Amino acid sequence: MRPLTSGAYRGKYASIISSYRVTADYIARHRVFVAVDAVGRLLGFYALVLEPPELDLAFVADSAQGRGIGRLLIEHMVGQAREAGLTDLRVVSHPPAEEFYRRLGAERVGTVAPSPPKVAWERPELRFTTV
């Protein structure tokens, strides 16, 4: 699954990931975890960066949304962060995903300013506490 299979990044938000690719080098540098179905189809994934502690990517395929996969991925991420000794981690959220992260326990701590031309909108900055 490429992030582009998530409808959340169509339309006005498409520019943020238009040239983004999860490569073998990216996977070697970060903790990347996937959710797959019984026949091995990729349903979603996330990438946890340990330094600085941050959720870099989190996606669930449109066809898999509404089945609790995103919740499982984020709960797994918080557990992985805890096991790595992190007490909290940052999430710069896609604006429509803010409420999802807040339902799972993240607290809004600020706003990240636009960085044109790729990101022309403010993004919520959230923090998960892992202790």
At 56-71, the pLDDT tens digits run 989 998 889 899 999 9
Closest to 31 in 3D by CA, of 59, 1, 60, 51: 51
Closest to 62 in 3D by CA, of 70, 50, 54: 70
The whole-angstrom separation of Cα 8 and Cα 90 is 20
Q: What pTM was estimated for this model as a whole?
A: 0.87
> Right CATH number for 3-129 from 3.40.630.30, 3.30.230.10, 3.40.50.2020, 1.10.275.30?
3.40.630.30
Q: Tens of pLDDT along 62-109?
A: 889 899 999 999 999 999 999 999 999 999 998 889 999 999 999 999
The tokens for 36 are 């797959």
